[in-house]
Amino acid sequence: MGTSGVRSTGLDTARPAARAGRRPWRVAAAAVAAGVVLLSAGCSGDKSPSWQNGSQGSGGNAQSPSPTPTQSTVAVTTPAPDAKDVVAITDIKYDSEDPENTSVEVKDADGDAVKGELDKDAKVFRPAKALNYGTTYTVTVTGTATEGKSGTSTASFTTMAKPSKQVRVSSFLGDGQVVGVGMPLIVRFGRSVPEKYRGDVEKRMTVNATPQQEGTWHWISPTEIHYRPKTYWKPYSKVSYQVKLAGVPMGNDWYGRSDLGVDLKIGRSFVMTVENKTKRMTVRQDGKVINTIPVSLGKPSTPSSSGTMVVMEKKEHTVFDTIAELGPEEGYRTKIDFAQRITWSGQFIHAAKWSEGVQGRTNVSHGCINVSEKMGKWLFDRTMMGDPVTVSGTGSKLKNGNGWTDWNMSWDQYKQGSALS
């Protein structure tokens, strides 16, 4: 018999197989399989055979496999989809099975892309500035697709309405300004910042220096924060600081009003050191001694403060009037030349003609550093705001906060003033 016997019936092939000593059920199974192939090949019309749709025949109980649900390898996690009243400085967080090959795009209602920084390690997109108030944004996260999973996820959210209570943020330093190596960066707030919000505020304040220098912020008070490097600024550095507080929560429904940025320069190193023992001021410029000046410090009843201060203000000609503060017997009203303020309590470096005869020998001032008229002008012509002066040996310690006393603390003490320490 030829192969035509297989096509006609499986029984004809079973008999000779049995006579050959083979197991009949194996041959019968082969015949059934062959029949299936022939049946499948012979049904190419529009109708499916009954065994495929489960309506008839021996395959009537079979079910076609359900399609695998399409999932995503990426997902937007924060803000939640369709979230409302989202704070304007929100970070956009996402999940991804392949962060390195994942991108994030944020667009406003007009389709304009939001600029920002993508941190793939933290899986966070941080907008470069606060988002617009009362605006709907769409986030699209695109990653790699895997079998049965999509590589794209999209979600939308809407920011909060513009708050009625906003905190003013300011800094009196300006772009292009040149300051001394002891100049702290100073930012002031129009309202006290509660302690629990200071860390978030501080995170939005960045400082960049060229060359790079280690530094930190330090809260002077609830309304003022300073920044200084570990040691004096390196001479001729370029320093910029960005304060991005628009929309940042500051407690009790108050939010930052705006951002600000300042680019300034550090000048030459000009450092003044005063010793009560010798009653001399040593002046160093870029590390080299350029002058030694006789001084008269505060008399015993009104001693000068020992500590490190910086020049905060300069007035070539002014009037010291302490009558209202000290009374007519102790107070005085005197014209002063070449005054340089170093404390809020009224201590200055200034020229004093009346004490020139004892400068270098006796302390007679009300707490100021007296120098001659000639040396007062010499100093005034060379100093700038932020130049440091250190006084030692007077027996009266400088109180922190009485001036820009950032350098009157050790580095470890200063770091403790950071909300992020």
Catalytic residue among 218, 226, 366, 368, which? 368
Contacts by residues 393-396 (CB-CB < 8 Å, ≥ 24 positions apart): 393/275, 393/276, 393/277, 393/306, 394/276, 394/297, 394/298, 394/303, 394/304, 394/305, 394/306, 395/303, 395/306, 396/298, 396/303, 396/304, 396/305, 396/306
Q: Are 343 and 331 in contact (CB under 8 A)?
A: no
Query: Is residue 226 annotated as a catalytic residue, yes or no?
Result: no
- Please name the amino acid found at residue 266: I
Q: Where are the beta strands (DSSP E) in 160-302?
A: 166-167, 169-170, 178-179, 185-189, 205-210, 215-221, 224-229, 238-244, 255-256, 259-266, 270-275, 280-285, 288-294
Looking at the DSSP assignment, which residues form a beta bridge with residue 219? 225
Q: How far is CA 325 from CA 28, 132, 369, in A?
A: 119, 50, 20
Q: How far is CA 379 from the centre of its chain?
A: 39
Q: In whole angstroms, give the CA distance from residue 108 to residue 420.
A: 33
Q: Are 403 and 389 in contact (CB under 8 A)?
A: no
Q: How far is CA 324 from CA 281, 313, 327, 332, 334, in A?
A: 31, 22, 6, 9, 13
Active-site positions?
Answer: 350, 368
